[in-house]
Amino acid sequence: MKIKLPKYAALAGTCGLSLVLGSFITVKLQNAPVTVSVIREAQKIIGMEFTDAEADSMADNLNQFNKSYDNLRKLKMPNSVVPALNFNPVPVGFVNPDEKSGFKLGDMEKVTLPANRDDIAFYTIRQLAALIRTKQITSVDLTKFFIERLKKYNGKLLNVITFTEEHALQKAAEADARIADGHYRGVLDGIPFGAKDLLAQKDYKTTFGSVPYQDQQLDVDATVITKLEDAGAILIAKTTLGELAQGDVWFGGKTKNPWDITRGSSGSSAGSASAVSAGCLPFAIGSETLGSIVSPATECGDSGLRPSFGRVSKYGAMALSWSMDKLGPIARSVEDAAIVFNTIQGTDGKDLSTIAAPFNYDGRIKSLNGYKIGYVKADFERKYANRANDSTTLAKLKELGAELVPIEYPKMPIGSMTFLLDAEAGAAFQELVLSHKEDQMVLQNKNAWPNTFRSAQFIPAVEYIQANRARTLLIQDWYEKLKGLDLYITPSFSQNLSMTNLTGNPCVVLPNGFNAKGRPTSITFMGQLFGEGKLLQAAKTYQEATDFNKKHPALNF
């Protein structure tokens, strides 16, 4: 099926309030009236008690609400339609970390085509760009190389849903002609990439990795894809995602980790992380709502950037949570992630959730002298799997000149706010519940989306609003605690992951060693809101003082 989006669809990334229905009553699909006895039972779900007289008085209102719900459901709104409220992560008194915009790449040695052409599979964007710019390789040859490599390993890794080969070869030929005529567009010109298959490209299917949508074709191009192609990058594949952006299981199977194919690549940006790790893509676009860049980048040993909320347009992307969804690059190095981010960031008239902010990055920095870097002391002192490697990272930061400052989390019930994601996801995919198409999805356990979508219909709108009010307090508290710091560092998996997906702070996750079984481990650098400049600079400085990102899976399968 091919769906033409409404003219003003996806204009804003929003809280989802107008689509989060008011109470347990919303799941009553029959027209049976709400009575006092129904209210007596239902009040147990919301944890409140009403007298019979109060219940009797409410019945008329609740029955009227039901009629309103029925009328709204008849609109059959597609996923692309956003609620009329914008989430804004900016705290009171906020000052942008960067005063002005600027982008300077680090120094680089001369690049030559290797004797073994397979070695270019693990070249960085800048190295590949140097080969193209100096005409040592054409974009067509490079595009064919990565398409062939994807196809070679896809049978085992299951990291591609759709190859965009015809489109890619045409664009690559255009890039070669343009470059031959002296119109080189910059470091991304002629460079192949992949996009998580929740981003629309109008000539190909956009499946969301899900059985109910596996034949869906959207009549738009996602802004992120448009910006990359305008810079000359070549879309060669739509990569896998766990079904509707959860995990690494999709309608075609389970995407695998190239370091150990007995394991999944984690999710939900499963294919993007797997393909970059295997040297099948120079970079790919992923998305994160609650760990979907951090987790697969960790599992596969990639460098991933989750930008601040509002930095990158979500137009043309599947909505899971209008107030938490973020798009970002998964790449071979931190500077590669910076290159891609510099291209895709910025406001978009088609997505009113985007926020204007300067971005100032200087990749020439070699030390962390003068940097004040916070660290969540309690996190690093607890017993956890990657404690040794993380402690070594702290020591390396000191060695590079950083001043480490202990910090503490806000004393707030952070985990109790994360049902905001359930509420918005339940609204985004309520159509599946109403039509029972969620029964077609691959995973059906208690923690899978079908059960979450059903359960979300019982979340009262009042509690959704209360949680967002608590979120406002959290945003302000965390902003105050981070004042005076350039950034902070944290284990990749801790309370911080949930908290900062609520506050909208950016992060870079990158390899910091290996575990006893030889699989990559990671550390997370966290930035001030819209502080991607210093965040990326610090992470790049650390990465260049180590060599973990230069090690690759053997691919012996």
- Among all residues, which ones are annotated catalytic? 196, 268, 292
Cβ proximity of 165 and 154 under 8 Å:
no
CA-to-CA distance for 342 and 533, rounded, in angstroms? 10
CA-to-CA distance for 290 and 288, rounded, in angstroms? 6
CB count in 10 Å sphere of residue 70: 12
CA-to-CA distance for 490 and 480, rounded, in angstroms? 18
At 174, is the secondary structure helix, strand, or coil?
helix
Cβ proximity of 309 and 89 under 8 Å:
yes
CA-to-CA distance for 214 and 332, rounded, in angstroms? 29
Residues 6+ apart with CB under 8 A from 323: 13, 14, 15, 16, 87, 309, 420, 424, 468
Could you tell me the CA-to-CA distances from 227 to 59, 80, 230, 342, 391 in Å, in that order? 52, 20, 5, 10, 39
Could you tell me the CA-to-CA distances from 295 to 239, 248, 255, 329 in Å, in that order? 16, 11, 14, 13
Residues 6+ apart with CB under 8 A from 154: 160, 280
Closest CA to 344 of 332, 331, 46, 214: 331
CA-to-CA distance for 448 and 342, rounded, in angstroms? 35
CA-to-CA distance for 294 and 314, rounded, in angstroms? 19
What six digits make up the tokens of 294? Answer: 């951090």
CA-to-CA distance for 341 and 384, rounded, in angstroms? 32
CB environment 281-305: b (16+ within 10 A), e (fewer): bbbbbbbbbbbbbbbbbbbbbbbbb
Largest separation between any pair of C-alpha atoms in the chain: 85
Closest CA to 441 of 308, 246, 176, 200: 246
CB count in 10 Å sphere of residue 58: 16
